[in-house]
Amino acid sequence: MKSYLTGVFLFGLIIYIGASGGCASTEQVKGDVANGKKVYGQYCVLCHGDNGKMQLNGAKDITVSELTFELRLTLIKDGKNLMTPFDGILSESEIQDVAAYSMTLKP
Ligand code: HEC
């Protein structure tokens, strides 16, 4: 069993999102997909499975997700319902990488 110590880190990153989320019109996917894949294998497969389709703990099928890159960053940081907030567990760049990787799961 793991317990996730996240709460303290939320503030800083929320401010960061506020400061960096300027232009919503063009979708900017940045991040190292290869590294994102590693992060995914460590932290996301538990609920989403290798291919993103496993739906353990009420997880959604990532391959059909319509979420934009920006929204994924926020989701991964803040979590949602049973999804773990990864703020403080993953670094800013790891979150970017894994979000970028998650975009590639879409067929
Ligand atoms: C503890 C289980 C769990 C883990 C670990 C987990 N997720 Fe999730 N994930 C969920 C659940 C539950 C949802 C659905 C949240 C909701 O909308 O109710 C979800 C939703 C999502 C969605 C949104 C799909 C959509 O269209 O709404 C994405 C993208 C996602 N997860 C990516 C990730 C990534 C990337 C990781 C690893 C950093 C990860 N998840 C780790 C449980 C998990």
Task: Spell out the domains of the chain, with CATH numbers in brackets.
Answer: 30-104 (1.10.760.10)
The whole-chain average pLDDT of the chain stands at: 84
- Give which of 68, 107, 42 is closest to 50, Cα–Cα: 42
Q: If pLDDT is split at 50, 70 and 90, which confidence band does 57 have? A: confident
Nearest CA residue ID for atom 36, ligand 1:
44
| Distance (Å, whole) CA 90 – CA 96 | 10
Residue 32 predicted with pLDDT over 80: yes
> Which residues' Cβ are closer than 6 Å to ligand 1?
40, 43-44, 46-48, 57-60, 62, 65-67, 72, 75-76, 80-84, 86, 98, 102
| Distance (Å, whole) CA 58 – CA 60 | 6
What is the position in ligand 1's atom list of the atom closest to the CA of 46? 5
Q: If pLDDT is split at 50, 70 and 90, which confidence band does 3 have? A: low
| pLDDT tens-digit series, residues 63-96 | 999 999 999 999 999 999 999 999 999 999 999 9
